[in-house]
Amino acid sequence: MSFLLTAAFLFFIFFIVFFLICAYKVISFLITTVFYGAFFAKSTPKIIEKMIFLADIKPGEKTADIGSGSGELVIAMANAGAKAHGYEINPFLVWLSRRNIKKAGLQGKAFVHWKNFWQIDFFEFDVVTVYGISYIMKTLELKLKKELKKDAKVVSNYFTFPNWPPAKKEDNIYLYIK
């Protein structure tokens, strides 16, 4: 009888340890995925309108929003006639963006990808928008200057590139042209 109790006890301990290891892996994955990158700061409709105006999107252009949050700017770019893509690392915000795109009836015109924008090649895009954070702007500037095609536009909300002078500025919205 004591052998069965010992075996059951060991099995129980093994199960608890296995469960705790699995829970740790899942929780650490979710925490790093959800909280990796910049914090989510929603742009106001007025700022989105100014960004769209400065981007001067033409129908059929391909656009990208870096750190697309809840998708409002992606939706606005699609409404302006672009094939609009957003890149977001937070899975909850990706889900919310896709829900907002569906509500707006823009499936097939607006897309949000659960992806780290550092892994994207921006060569195919005509317009790139960003509401970054100061510590990424130098590296992002180098990436975009290297990858964007000639005459591509970058519109930045509030944060500026350190070595790339803006072609135009309206309030705290900056337009850069390669």
Higher pLDDT, 138 or 8: 138
Instruction: Tell whether 10 and 97 lie within a shared domain.
Output: no
Instruction: Round the average pLDDT of the chain to a whole number and report it.
Output: 87
Instruction: Tell whether 17 and 80 lie within a shared domain.
Output: no
Instruction: Tell whether 18 and 86 lie within a shared domain.
Output: no
Kindly state the tokens that stand for 89: 């690392």
Establish if 132 belongs to a structural domain: yes
Cα–Cα dist 155/177, whole Å: 9
- Confidence (pLDDT) at 115: 93
Instruction: Tell whether 91 and 10 lie within a shared domain.
Output: no
Establish if 156 belongs to a structural domain: yes
pLDDT at 29 over 60: no
Going by C-beta distance under 8 Å and a sequence separation of 6 or more, which residues neighbour residue 157?
Answer: 43, 47, 51, 129, 130, 131, 172, 173
pLDDT at 161 over 90: yes
H-helix or E-strand containing 85? strand 83-88
Instruction: Tell whether 31 and 57 lie within a shared domain.
Output: no
Higher pLDDT, 45 or 32: 45
Lowest-confidence region among 27-31, 53-57, 132-136 = 27-31
- Confidence (pLDDT) at 41: 73
Instruction: Tell whether 93 and 172 lie within a shared domain.
Output: yes
Cα–Cα dist 74/109, whole Å: 9
**Number of structural domains the chain divides into:** 2
Domain membership of residue 152 as a residue range: 45-177
pLDDT at 26 over 60: no
Q: What is the mean pLDDT of residues 95-118?
A: 96
Establish if 167 belongs to a structural domain: yes
Residue type, 34: V
Establish if 40 belongs to a structural domain: no
CB 77 within 8 A of CB 65: yes
Establish if 143 belongs to a structural domain: yes
Higher pLDDT, 92 or 86: 86
Instruction: Tell whether 62 and 128 lie within a shared domain.
Output: yes
